[in-house]
Structure 1
Amino acid sequence: MPIVSREHPEPSPAKPHEARRMAESFGVDAQRYDQARPAYPAALVTRIADGSPGPDILDVGCGTGIAARQFQAAGCTVLGVEPDARMAGFAQARGLDVEVATFEAWQPAGRTFDAVIAAQSWHWVDPTTGNAKAAQVLRPGGRLTIFGHVYEPPAEVAEPFAAAYRRAAPDSPFSSGPARRPLDVYRAAYAKVAAGIRETGRFHDTEQWQFDWEQTYTREQWLDLLPTTGGLTQLRPEQLTGILNAVGDAIDSLGGRFTMAYTTLATTAVRTGTP
């Protein structure tokens, strides 16, 4: 599901999991993606690990392994499933066991897990198939957790970005949206995910978690992160340059850095004991 800011646009179609070209565009620069994207709150990792019946975790859409490495550091054994071979290769080089496939096509071959996680990736999975498959591979008492960041840059950064994006890509479906969106929009998206999980009839009641934190970015750091986001990975170099220049000027006007208020949201549910 698209858990991103307007500065980080994602697919607007009703079925984003069908936008395969964008879904598999993030590997264009896997190293930059891994270095620039933020990690997840330690409290979230601990809560999932401690709330699962054992250490075996399946990471759906693991990307370069940002979340997976955090779970490994917490003592878990992680298997990643990732459709982009470039992202998977980067994760494998960093010590993660990864199988290259979409979650829908992936074959568990009888394997089961204590937890299934999806970090910033569940919107690329067909929700009906994904929920059913998660239930299939979870052991009784196993935990499914879908989570991601919500981050809205300050208006002084978000508005120049939105204007530059409209100039650079006026025909993009992302160019017509507001510069910033309220947190309730994202909470509603997670509530929709929770409803889909409940519809399987194979999970106990869902829970909604929220973790608030901050991170300060320099001009260089933010301009390194921006090209890794969905609305920018497919732009032509000249389009991207114009956007980055506008955002860079905006950050310079703030003294060369700004502080981002992050919220990490999660929907989680425990597998029932029935087969």
Structure 2
Amino acid sequence: MNVFGTVADLYERARPGYPPEIAESILAYHRGTPASVVEVGAGTGKGTEVLARLGAPLTCVEPDARMAARLVERFPDARVETTTFERWSPPDDGADVLGCAMAWHWLDPATRNALARRALAPGGTLAVFGHRYDYADAAQRDAVRAALRSADPTVRERPVDWFHRDVLDSGQFDDVRREVFRRELPLTKESYLALMRTFGPYLSRTPEQQRRGIAALDRLVDDFAGTVVLDLRTTLVLGRADAR
């Protein structure tokens, strides 16, 4: 289920972008400019901003038509295909780089690594990256987690850098590497609540759970003097498709 199209504009405004160093790391790993780049689950283009820096023809695969429309506006030189990764047909000669930013968990866990491997040209590069939103202050972290659990006891977090283990354990890629980038991100209450409204766990909850969660966070940020400081951990996982 794609829940983000309903908040495409908010997503674009509220979500932080990615460090430009990610593009440099991909180019260094790939050993030069790729012949072609494909992005899976491109959304409104947060990851596309990074992948466009690779300097190669770019195809964006995005299942939600509202998100795809934003991509067309923002990246007129890219080819945008409105379909799921599972239904998408890769080029006959494969993609040189296959990128995925914050969308790996939306792909079918049983097939995503194998499909990514088959979509790549021999020697091609897989580049999966995403943010992990933590808190610079441990007291803020504990208070936020308690508030969210009280609003919805089913809330769970994935392990840190879980997609590194996912790619590594699949056995589909050689020379799997992980790079981590970190920065502190201060947010006003308005910016913080807007960001929270773009997360899948929030969007997939009932309206009443959404209301309770945002109300609890609203009160908490007031207790934090109106500012939340995030510890933004961005992980890049790279893998190589061998020539088999």
Q: Say whether residues 1:206 and 2:184 are aligned partners.
A: no
Matching residue of 2:164: 190
Compared CA separation, residues 66 and 30, structure 1 to 2 (3 A): same
The size of the alignment, in residue pairs, is: 239
RMSD: 2.3
Residues 69-91 of structure 1, C-alpha deviations (whole Å, 9 max, x = no match): 23224533321111222211221
Runs of 4+ in 1 over 6 A off after TM superposition: none
Instruction: Give 1:136 shift.
Output: 2.1
Contact 1:49 1:71 in 2 (8 A): no
Contact 1:58 1:117 in 2 (8 A): yes
* 91-100 or 60-69: bigger deviation: 91-100
Instruction: Give 1:49 shift.
Output: 2.9
Contact 1:161 1:243 in 2 (8 A): no
Matching residue of 2:212: 242
State the distance in 2 between where 1:131 and 1:189 align.
Answer: 10
Contact 1:49 1:76 in 2 (8 A): no
Q: Say whether residues 1:59 and 2:59 are aligned partners.
A: no
| Long gaps (5+) in structure 1 | 1-20
Matching residue of 1:13: none
Letter in 2 for 1:41: P
State the distance in 2 between where 1:169 and 1:253 align.
Answer: 21
Q: Secondary structure at the match of 2:58?
A: strand
Contact 1:139 1:271 in 2 (8 A): yes
State the distance in 2 between where 1:271 and 1:229 align.
Answer: 31
Q: Secondary structure at the match of 1:44?
A: helix
Letter in 2 for 1:260: L
Q: Secondary structure at the match of 1:252?
A: helix
Q: Secondary structure at the match of 2:18?
A: coil
State the distance in 1 between where 2:120 and 2:163 align.
Answer: 23
Matching residue of 2:73: 93
Q: Secondary structure at the match of 2:202?
A: coil
Compared CA separation, residues 215 and 194, structure 1 to 2 (3 A): same
- Matches for 1:159-238 after TM superposition, within 5 Å: 159-170=142-153, 173-174=154-155, 177=156, 185-187=159-161, 189-196=163-170, 198=171, 200=172, 203-238=173-208
Matching residue of 2:116: 134
Contact 2:123 2:240 in 1 (8 A): yes
State the distance in 2 between where 1:71 and 1:145 align.
Answer: 10
State the distance in 2 between where 1:251 and 1:48 align.
Answer: 37
Contact 2:147 2:213 in 1 (8 A): yes
State the distance in 2 between where 1:92 and 1:273 align.
Answer: 34
Contact 1:135 1:271 in 2 (8 A): yes
Q: Secondary structure at the match of 1:51?
A: helix
Matching residue of 1:110: 92
Matching residue of 1:39: 17
Contact 1:156 1:250 in 2 (8 A): no
Residues 92-122 of structure 1, C-alpha deviations (whole Å, 9 max, x = no match): 2212422111111111252522111111111
Compared CA separation, residues 249 and 159, structure 1 to 2 (3 A): same
| Long gaps (5+) in structure 2 | none
Q: Secondary structure at the match of 1:143?
A: strand
Matching residue of 2:129: 147
Compared CA separation, residues 105 and 91, structure 1 to 2 (3 A): same
Contact 2:131 2:234 in 1 (8 A): yes
Contact 2:37 2:95 in 1 (8 A): yes
Residues 32-83 of structure 1, C-alpha deviations (whole Å, 9 max, x = no match): 1111111112111211134325152111111111111232245333211112
Matching residue of 1:264: 234
Letter in 2 for 1:44: I
Residues 211-249 of structure 1, C-alpha deviations (whole Å, 9 max, x = no match): 122211111111111110011113344543332232122
